[in-house]
Amino acid sequence: MPELLFLLLPVAAAYGWFMGRNSLKTKELKGRADVTRNLSSGLNFLLTDQEDKAIEQLLELLDIEAATIDTYLALANLFRRKGDWDKAIKIHEKLHQLKLPKNKAQQIQFELAKDYFSAGLFDRAEYLLLPLTDNELLREAVLKQLFSIFLATHEPQKAVALQPAVEKTQSRSLRIMLANMQIQHLEKSQQLDLNRLQQLAEHFPQAIRPRVALARQALAEQQPAVAKAAILSVLKQRVQWAAELLPLLQQCQLDATEWQQLLSPLADKHNISACLLLTDHLAEHQSAAAAEQYLLPKLRQQPNIRLFQKLLQLRQQQSALAAEALISVEELVNAYLDSKALYSCRNCGFKTRQPYWLCPSCQQWETVEPIAGIDGR
């Protein structure tokens, strides 16, 4: 009899394992059924425009099934794009509470910070973003978001403190952003001086604003050679800035020959401002006829309203009879030009008559430039 009981032990163990396995399967199937039921219920709420109830229902699933995180991220981003920041925050906050791998957790933290920024909760967004500057994959996007916060809160000095993090990236746009924030900080603290501006101009060759500020400050401090070098450096990089910078270059105490030598290569590149100034130079130092002789081929090569306006002025200088006939034409041309934008953003196409270092439309730095073309400068 004892031997029989001994033989039944494996049978009992096998039976216990079999029943336990069936019990686990039953619980698993029940859990999946609950998930499916809650998911279906949440989707029904969404379809019937009961978004608050839908979110509550769907968030309950996070305690059961964390494998659908990407779905929740997509849903939260959809709410943020629609302007429903409170709903996006609710989802991202719930996701942020889960125990997830570090990279996924930091991605969710970044998304939550963007929700806070969109909702105007800048301090909360900054608190979440600052630790993420150590994340190599997110660093560039995080820094750009932080700079947007510092711009909105008028705290450029905080951007200056993040220069070491910016230097760890290869981003040209970040360096331009930082250079502009540095200038804003110097202006705000009234610390603009030639040494600081020269350091910025050398450290951020990608940016234009430090060199323009350097040129203006150098002229204010009676150092035309420094201003000239800064202006020519910008024009070599982006000739379209001639419309803004050539009037400054005129203040650099250049003699007539040097001024003509500087203008000629710019005019040969079909820069309208250089052509206009060179025409004035020829009219002053030679004659109106010589200036017109220079201007006519340029006008044929590159039709432009401003060049045409200059031609009208030259014709009026040469003949009193022509002046009387052309004055009404010039008034029409002036009225036309007064209605035209002077600057355009090369990134988004925003047009304006006022210069901006930061585009009001796309929020990109140094993309608003003097307009070229038939009514450009």
Instruction: Estimate the share of the chain in helix, then strand, then coil, as percent rounded to the nearest 5.
Output: 75, 5, 25
Q: How much is the pLDDT for 14? A: 45
Q: How much is the pLDDT for 276? A: 93
CA separation for the pair 250, 231 (Å, rounded): 11
Residues 369 and 331 in one domain: no
Q: How far apart, in Å, are the Cα atoms of 172 and each of 60, 144, 207, 242?
A: 44, 12, 9, 23
Q: How much is the pLDDT for 55? A: 60
**In degrees rounded to 5, what are phi and psi of residue 254?**
-90, 145
CA separation for the pair 334, 295 (Å, rounded): 19
DSSP SS3 for 348: coil
| Concatenated DSSP letters of 85-110 | HHHHHHHHHHHHTS---HHHHHHHHH
For the chain, give the number of residues.
377
Edge-to-edge strand ranges of the sheet holding 351-352: 351-352, 343-345, 368-370
Is 376 a member of any domain? yes
66, 99, 120: which is the final residue of a domain?
A: 120
Is 154 a member of any domain? no
Is the distance from CB of 204 to CB of 175 less than 8 angstroms?
A: yes
Is 291 a member of any domain? yes
**Of residues 259, 257, 258, 248, the one with CA closest to residue 226:** 248
Is 133 a member of any domain? no
pLDDT band of residue 7 (cuts 50, 70, 90) is very low
Is 171 a member of any domain? no
Comparing 203 with 316, the larger pLDDT belongs to: 203
Is the distance from CB of 174 to CB of 166 less than 8 angstroms?
A: yes
Residues 97 and 37 in one domain: yes
Q: What are the contacts of 305-314 at 24+ separation with CB within 8 A? A: 305/333, 305/336, 305/337, 305/374, 305/375, 306/272, 306/276, 306/337, 306/375, 306/376, 306/377, 307/272, 307/275, 307/276, 308/333, 309/333, 309/334, 309/337, 310/276, 310/279, 314/279, 314/283, 314/288
CA separation for the pair 216, 192 (Å, rounded): 11
Task: Say if residue 18's pLDDT is above 80.
Answer: no
Number of domains present in the structure of the chain? 3
What's the pLDDT tens digit per position in 76-85? 888 888 888 8
Name the residue type at position 292.
E
Q: How much is the pLDDT for 330? A: 81
Residues 73 and 109 in one domain: yes
Residues 35 and 115 in one domain: yes
**In degrees rounded to 5, what are phi and psi of residue 366?**
60, 35
- Percent of the chain having pLDDT more than 70? 80
Residues 335 and 364 in one domain: no
Please give the residue range of the domain that contains residue 359: 341-377
Residues 275 and 350 in one domain: no
Residues 329 and 354 in one domain: no
What's the pLDDT tens digit per position in 320-357? 666 666 777 888 888 888 889 999 999 999 999 999 99
Residues 284 and 360 in one domain: no
Lowest-pLDDT range of 16-20, 181-185, 260-264, 267-271: 16-20
Q: Residue 55's domain is classified under what CATH number?
A: 1.25.40
What's the pLDDT tens digit per position in 214-251? 999 999 999 999 999 999 999 999 999 999 999 999 99
Is 364 a member of any domain? yes
89, 120, 151: which is the final residue of a domain?
A: 120
Q: What's the pTM?
A: 0.78
Comparing 337 with 142, the larger pLDDT belongs to: 142
Residues 69 and 89 in one domain: yes
pLDDT band of residue 24 (cuts 50, 70, 90) is very low
97, 120, 143: which is the final residue of a domain?
A: 120
- Percent of the chain having pLDDT more than 90? 55
**Of residues 275, 237, 261, 278, the one with CA closest to residue 376:** 275
**Of residues 344, 364, 360, the one with CA closest to residue 352:** 344
Residues 116 and 38 in one domain: yes
Q: How much is the pLDDT for 327? A: 78
Q: How much is the pLDDT for 40? A: 53
Cross-strand pairs, 345: 368
Task: Say if residue 2's pLDDT is above 80.
Answer: no
The residue whose two tokens read 């450009």 is 376
pLDDT band of residue 38 (cuts 50, 70, 90) is low
CA separation for the pair 102, 118 (Å, rounded): 24
What's the pLDDT tens digit per position in 48-79? 555 556 565 555 555 545 557 777 788 888 88
Q: What is the mean pLDDT of residues 187-209?
A: 93
Is 4 a member of any domain? no
Is 300 a member of any domain? yes
Q: How much is the pLDDT for 12? A: 42
DSSP state of 138: T
Residues 348 and 316 in one domain: no
Residues 100 and 87 in one domain: yes
